């Protein structure tokens, strides 16, 4: 990471932590131990943030030993330890499971030089990660209400390290450095989807327009949280990795279509119940997210599109 970029990334990261401190102190239930939760959240957010400014590439260049790269994956359990020890919630089984998951998948992807296209190792690793997420197997690590995002962040950290450092997959485009091209493409695909999403959502009686002007503070907070905790993780998994790998087997159109379908299927429920309208609209939105990413293989473009769609929906059409 270059000096100026590193300093800028650190300053914005600290500003985000300060904002989270203010928001979390007001929103988290009183039963949640605040200091360990905040420290754990900061550690979970760090890879997600700093990999977007070149930290992953720096690790690849400075740590040449594949064995050491794999062993370092075990450090991803640190946020759990930082949270669990002070709160008396530490369980060796959970800690060992996190380390085993990280090291096992790193070994699977890093024990040999994998080809550039989709391999059976990729399918196995992504299936395990998706299964852990859908079955919520890591939720006992943070067993307090309001902390459901933390297990998801841990899985995102694992995915990032596996595919940026261990797998060193080309074309992910995971950069948070803003460019005019990424912003332009992200806005373009959002504008393409917006009328279609509004009309289809209205016809399906899935959305209703709520004319209002939201308060600036909650609106900005919601947009930042959506960007960091929803759009970034989902776009990393579905576009940067899954669509990226599928393109090597199915081509651009086939990969776009299949990834959009899988993205829609991952949104099969709304409020705990199956909702085919939610699934359909998510799949259609996934086409535009995929188009944004594949234009220049810039993940920031699809993250922008995804964030704008979710913010507009949650504020004016939910």
pLDDT one-digit tens code per residue, 168-195: 998 999 999 999 999 999 999 999 999 9
Residue with the two structure tokens 């989807």? 193
pLDDT band at residue 73, thresholds of 50, 70 and 90?
Answer: very high
pLDDT at 274 over 80: yes
Q: In the chain, what percentage of residues exceed pLDDT 90?
A: 72
Mean pLDDT value across residues 205-228: 88
Both 117 and 37 in one domain: the answer is yes
36 lies in the same domain as 103: yes
Residue with the bigger pLDDT between 290 and 30: it is: 290
Mean pLDDT of all residues in 215-233: 89
pLDDT at 57: 87
The answer to whether residue 82 scores a pLDDT higher than 70 is yes
Look-up: residue for tokens 């939760």? 37
Among 169, 203, 225, give the residue marking a domain's end: 169
Query: What's the confidence (pLDDT) of residue 215?
Result: 87
CB atoms within 10 A of CB 184: 13
- With bands split at pLDDT 50, 70 and 90, how would you rate the model's confidence at 36? very high
Percentage with pLDDT > 70 across the chain: 97
Residue 267: per-residue pLDDT? 86
For the segment 39-59, the average pLDDT, to the nearest whole number, is: 93
The answer on 136 and 177 residing in a single domain is no
Same domain, yes or no, for 297 and 220?
yes
pLDDT of the residue at 318: 80
Domain tally for the chain? 2
Residues 112-148 have pLDDT tens digits of 667 788 999 999 999 999 899 888 899 999 999 889 8
Separation of CA 229 from chain center: 6
* Domain-ending residue, one of 121, 141, 169: 169
Judge whether residue 207 has pLDDT over 90: no
For residues 244 and 194, state if they share a domain: yes
Q: Which domain holds residue 11?
A: 1-169
Statement to judge: residues 232 and 283 lie in one domain: yes
Residue (of 216, 263, 217) closest to 239 by Cα position: 263
Alpha helices in the chain (DSSP H): 3-27, 34-50, 55-62, 66-71, 78-87, 92-110, 120-134, 149-160, 180-203, 216-226, 232-235, 244-265, 276-296, 299-312
17, 42 in Cβ contact below 8 A?
Answer: yes
Do 192 and 258 sit in the same domain of this protein? yes
Same domain, 158 and 282: no
pLDDT at 271: 65
pLDDT band for 72, please (50, 70, 90 cuts).
Answer: very high
Residue at a domain's end among 169, 187, 214: 169
């Amino acid at each position: 990471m270059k000096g100026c970029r590193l300093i800028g990334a650190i300053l914005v990261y600290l500003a985000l932590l300060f904002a989270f401190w203010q928001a979390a102190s007001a929103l988290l239930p009183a039963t949640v131990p605040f200091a360990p939760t905040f420290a754990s959240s900061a550690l979970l957010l760090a890879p997600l943030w700093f990999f977007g400014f070149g930290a992953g590439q720096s690790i690849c260049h400075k740590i040449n030993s594949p064995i050491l790269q794999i062993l370092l994956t075990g450090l991803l359990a640190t946020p759990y330890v930082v949270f669990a020890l002070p709160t008396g919630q530490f369980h060796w089984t959970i800690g060992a499971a996190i380390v085993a998951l990280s090291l096992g998948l790193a070994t699977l992807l890093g024990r040999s030089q994998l080809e550039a296209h989709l391999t059976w190792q990729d399918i196995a690793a992504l299936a395990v990660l998706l299964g852990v997420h859908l079955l919520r197997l890591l939720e006992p690590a943070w067993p307090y209400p309001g902390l459901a995002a933390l297990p998801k962040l841990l899985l995102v950290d694992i995915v990032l390290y596996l595919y940026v450092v261990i797998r060193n997959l080309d074309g992910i485009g995971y950069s948070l450095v803003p460019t005019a091209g990424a912003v332009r493409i992200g806005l373009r695909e959002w504008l393409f989807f917006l009328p279609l999403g509004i009309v289809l959502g209205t016809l399906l009686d899935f959305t209703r327009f709520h004319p209002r002007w939201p308060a600036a503070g909650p609106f900005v907070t919601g947009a930042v949280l959506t960007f960091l905790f929803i759009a970034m993780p989902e776009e990393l998994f579905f576009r940067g990795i899954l669509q990226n790998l599928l393109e090597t087997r199915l081509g651009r159109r086939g990969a776009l279509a299949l990834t959009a379908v899988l993205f829609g299927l991952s949104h099969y429920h709304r409020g705990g119940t199956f909702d085919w309208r939610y699934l359909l609209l998510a799949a259609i939105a996934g086409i535009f997210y995929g188009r944004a990413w594949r234009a220049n293989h810039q993940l920031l473009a699809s993250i922008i599109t995804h964030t704008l769609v979710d913010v507009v929906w949650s504020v004016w059409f939910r």
